[in-house]
Structure 1
Amino acid sequence: MSATARPRRLTPMDVRARKGDTPLVCLTAYTTPVARLVDGDCDVVLVGDSVGMVLHGLPSTLGVTMEMMILHGQAVDRGLSHALMVIDMPFGSYEESPEQAFRNAARLMAETGAGAVKLEGGVAMAETIRFLTARSIPVMGHVGLTPQAINALGGYKVQGRGADAARVLADAKAVAEAGAFSVVLEKVPAALADRVTGEIAIPTIGIGASAGCDGQILVVDDMLGLFTDFRPKFAKAYAELGQAAGAAIAAYAEDVRARRFPAPEHVFADSPGASS
């Protein structure tokens, strides 16, 4: 009796091998239904700490906990069969030491089924990335605008303009040399993103960067028009599902108040044969 083989998911090495090839398609997901929706079209699905803002109403990502990431990671894992699942390490879970980072990264991967973790920071985090990758923890880097550092950066500002370009380039190179399999470039000038992409050996994944990056990522609730608290310039909305949902809820409320819902076809008769 032959068992049905589970479909093979993409691995960090598959993503690494896409450098300079067909652009990588990446989106966030936080729930099983959304994971199922994006799986077929995405190469990478990120369980992002943006879940704190998008689903939990937090003002930033700083309040996201390990427990929140594990809960949502487990949900996303149930909905994927193809894409590589990467999970964000939340603020405070990796900055203290490489050893702290390993303990938390290992826990995230073991309890969620993620194929890799993502952490923010460049030169300052190179030692930690090297420590993790030497211990079989695949790491996706994240440089440029790093949302967990908004207090230090003075808000959600473009990074790498003018003389600051050298810092972002150094961060990206440090991440690549430390062993990361890819790196997110967030909110940096397009010319700088193109330069970084040309000068490092791992794929760059842009968000507010350049079409010349090796891949692109967006927050799924932004691109579906579900999260409307604010919309960054780079967050193209491919649909306005928030507006459609609002209209549907209003129509439902009107039907309930007018006693049009439930209609006869939505209720049950005394006799099973009298109504389906």
Structure 2
Amino acid sequence: MKLTIKQINEKLATISKSDDPFFLQCKKDSRVGVQQLVQRWEKNEEIEKGKQQQFYNMLSIEREVRSQGYTLIAGIDEVGRGPLAGPVVAAAVILKDDCYLPGLTDSKKLSATARETFFNLIHEQAQAIGIGIVSSEMIDKVNIYEATKLAMINAIEELEVSPDYLLLDAMKVNLPISQQSIIKGDAKSITIAASSVIAKVTRDRLMNQLASQYPEYGFEKHMGYGTKQHLEAIKQYGVLKEHRQSFAPIKEMV
């Protein structure tokens, strides 16, 4: 008795290799519905292979650093330099040697749902994670560039184990630790990509809390960036202490 299309679909979901006897049997099945399932499986397999290859490509910098004798490699990235409101948040992540995170890349290229999924996976596969948060008040006091470096240093110091090498996204920090600054590092290094996701999800959650506190500003939609909606809300409801008063156009309003 032939399996139904539904039964074949359920069984194909458990198969991971194209030379599996059941998959080869499905390829010979003349039913249109079965052939559609086969094509979908092959397409998904191609996507997964692409993610796997991307993951190994993004490990190349870490492999090179390990070949030099370093073992505790921390990736550091930040989010929130450009907004008019809220903190700048940095994350430092040391991944376990056997981590496997196919599909992980620069947080800006991932959907909110994918970022949340990777946030949890990174926590499972990290040896240590540190978070640095610098408030809008401190940003106004020291400027955004210095605040970003401060957030990064705080994140590194929050790690439960001390890194012996740092990989940073287009930045350097004044710490006595060997380090490498990589342009667009969040798309080239898996540890920087991991830190970009941790930083992004952490900041988004903070901005959602701010949205609950000040619902009229719509922070959950723009995360503090200078959108038309945000600027109109500032004109209507005023400047908050969470706004960066050294940033235009906020500084013209206070």
TM (norm. structure 2) is 0.24
Q: Which structure has more RCO (C-alpha within 8 Å, separation ≥ 6)?
A: 2
When Rg is computed on C-alpha atoms for both structures, the one with the higher figure is 2
The structure where helix makes up a greater share of residues is 2
